[in-house]
Amino acid sequence: MRKTLLLFMGIAIVFLFLNQQARGQNQASKLRAAEDGLALTPPMGWYPWNEFGQEPQNEKLIKEIVDALISSGLKDAGYVYVGPDEGICFSRGADGKLIANLAHYPSGLRGLGDYIHQRGLKYALYTDAGTRTCSKAMPGTKDHEVEDMAAFAAWRADDVKVDWCNTDGQDPAQTYTRLRDAQLAAGRPIVFSLCSWGVGEPWKWAASVGHLWRTTGDICGPGKADWSTAMKNTAENEKLFAAAGPGHWNDPDMLINGMDGLSATQNRSFFSLWCMMAAPLMAGNDLRKMTASTIQILTNREAIGIDQDPLGIQGHIVRREGQAEIWAAKRLFDGSQAVLVFNSGTTQAEVRVTWPDVGSAQSAALYVRNLWTHQTTGPRRGGITVTVPPRDVALLRISESSAFPRPPVIVADSYWVSFHAPDPGPQKFTKAITVKTTGSDELPRWKVLPGLPSWLTVAVTKHGKSQTLASTVSTAGLAKGLYHAVVRADNIEPVSGQPMSALYYDVDLEVAGGGGKN
Ligand code: GLA
């Protein structure tokens, strides 16, 4: 009866470990995301490498960054994946298993993940496909794929980035496919992020292996942004637009916004280019020390809406005029078109964007929204002329309608629910997490999926722009012990009808006390 009710209330599936393994392997030739619903828009979050390198990283820094990510408003803008990258996280024990570096991470790597999950963020960990990581301070996964991926699952990572240092003689496609299989066997839904810097041309084969792949070398060394490398990465990534789509992204590397070495104009232009390329938006700056301008750029929801558009199209250069690039071919979920005019030169540019540039007839009457000034003009016929200062941009949305809706951004207060039953007698407990929409006013439609384990039910209730996901556990018939499930909730973007990235959260139940069966 309760299960029938659940179907009407609209939620969720639990991926049991063995099921996941079998399903994952059967689907190996398909898009990863078609199976797990992860990263259907480009992942957003924060990694330390650009600002901090490998050192001095520790639990204190990551926790301070997590707190800053929330208090600065980045979390509400959609930045969710966070973790230590190559933060000297673990070593390998004599038994071959990974051991968390408790000197740097006193709560352990599971403890750090719990801190992140409790705050409604997702946990990203890092490793390497070779014998050692890039700094050589940590072991790589070579010949330890299965036990390492099991460790990441046990630490409850939601994202694993796999680097490509110290891989002499290894084939990228074979290596990452082996890691994919090991990661699926570990049974935890995880965003799988390939970091071979373009080695092995992952855009040709990795859509069935991972959710995103680096297309370029590092965008900067620790501590200082580098404009010319950012432009090189842009040019290399731009050409690969056909490979990108929901669940399979080209990754031209982390954001350099807010770092030393960029002007305010360059910051805005850089962010616009990344949004236009549907690139992952992993901030790389020190979130504890952001200027108002950096926050304003990183949280510009209208620009982010271009990046996070549910259709997942990577825009590209359709035309050049002198040193100005006209980026287009990025249709958005409501039928509007994103356009970027980027002046890469050192003198002012005046550029006419014509309606045929955005696939419309010259005679069409279209509205133009400027995504940095937040002003709409029109309807206009024929086109619009923009004046763009050196290294600056005009980031526009062009539409037959003046509405310009933004896609929903799902923000949760927690991704972890835990219960303690003091004894194994039949008892029920309920705890809810709240999920709000900070993008559009339109609420996503929750999709009904079967498959919860017998001790767990989940009910979704809508309250205006938020929903609660209430988990009820029943200890009836359960032996003493620890029970864990990962709940999956799918939903559909209401304007386009596109699936949105699946929402996953952990549920733990500890049945304590005497008299249990085990
Ligand atoms: C490589 C990667 C970077 C970063 C560092 C860490 O250079 O490309 O993104 O993870 O390793 O050492």
The contacts of residue 45 (CB under 8 Å, 6+ apart) are: 79, 80, 81, 82, 121, 122, 124, 159, 281, 282, 283
Closest residue by Cα to residue 443 from 491, 503, 504: 491
Would the CB of 218 count as within 6 Å of ligand 1?
Answer: yes
Structure confidence at residue 320 (pLDDT): 97
Measure the CA–CA gap between 155 and 285, rounded to whole angstroms: 25
User: Residue 139: is it exposed, middle or buried by C-beta count within 10 angstroms (0-12/13-18/19+)?
Assistant: buried
Supply the residue whose CA is at minimum distance from atom 7 of ligand 1: 218
Amino acid of residue 182:
A
> Based on C-alpha coordinates, what's the Rg of the chain?
23
CA of 470: how far to CAs of 36, 354, 417, in Å?
Answer: 22, 50, 10
Would the CB of 135 count as within 6 Å of ligand 1?
Answer: yes
Amino acid of residue 437:
T
- Return the SS3 of 357: helix
Structure confidence at residue 13 (pLDDT): 40
User: What would the two tokens of residue 330 be?
Assistant: 């990025």
User: What would the two tokens of residue 243 be?
Assistant: 């490979």
Give the global pTM: 0.93
Known catalytic residue at 253: no
What is the distance in A from the centroid of ligand 1 to the CA of 486?
Answer: 30
CB 375 within 8 A of CB 466: no
Q: N- to C-terminal Cα distance for the chain?
A: 29
Would the CB of 230 count as within 6 Å of ligand 1?
Answer: no
Measure the CA–CA gap between 424 and 409, rounded to whole angstroms: 40
Would the CB of 344 count as within 6 Å of ligand 1?
Answer: no
Would the CB of 49 count as within 6 Å of ligand 1?
Answer: yes
* Best of 134, 136, 229 for a ligand 1 pocket test (most atoms within 8 Å of beta carbon): 134
What is the distance in A from the centroid of ligand 1 to the CA of 203?
Answer: 19
The contacts of residue 292 (CB under 8 Å, 6+ apart) are: none
What is the distance in A from the centroid of ligand 1 to the CA of 130?
Answer: 13
What is the distance in A from the centroid of ligand 1 to the CA of 312?
Answer: 26
Structure confidence at residue 440 (pLDDT): 77
Structure confidence at residue 134 (pLDDT): 96
Structure confidence at residue 447 (pLDDT): 64
Q: Which atom of ligand 1 is nearest to the CA of 85?
A: 10
Would the CB of 163 count as within 6 Å of ligand 1?
Answer: yes
What is the distance in A from the centroid of ligand 1 to the CA of 177?
Answer: 20
Question: Where would I find the beta strands (DSSP E) of 371-452?
Answer: 375-381, 383-388, 393-399, 410-412, 416-421, 428-437, 445-447
Would the CB of 55 count as within 6 Å of ligand 1?
Answer: no
> Residue 292: phi, psi to the nearest 5?
-60, -35
Supply the residue whose CA is at minimum distance from atom 6 of ligand 1: 86
Structure confidence at residue 494 (pLDDT): 87
Known catalytic residue at 218: yes
Catalytic residue of the set 67, 76, 218, 413: 218
Query: Average pLDDT of each block of 10 consecutive residues along the chain (518 residues)?
Result: 36 38 45 94 97 88 98 98 95 97 97 98 98 96 98 98 98 98 97 98 98 98 96 98 98 98 97 99 98 98 98 98 97 98 97 96 98 98 98 98 95 97 94 90 68 92 87 96 94 91 96 65
The 8-class DSSP code of residue 499 comes to: B
Structure confidence at residue 9 (pLDDT): 36
Closest residue by Cα to residue 221 from 250, 260, 190: 260
- Return the SS3 of 435: strand
Catalytic residue of the set 36, 128, 158, 163: 163
* Best of 54, 86, 125, 162 for a ligand 1 pocket test (most atoms within 8 Å of beta carbon): 86
What is the distance in A from the centroid of ligand 1 to the CA of 256?
Answer: 14
What is the distance in A from the centroid of ligand 1 to the CA of 148?
Answer: 19
CB 193 within 8 A of CB 251: yes
CB 240 within 8 A of CB 222: no
Q: Which atom of ligand 1 is nearest to the CA of 217?
A: 8
CB 512 within 8 A of CB 480: yes
Burial 247-267 (b: 16+ CB within 10 A, else e): bbbbbbbbbbbbbeebeeebb
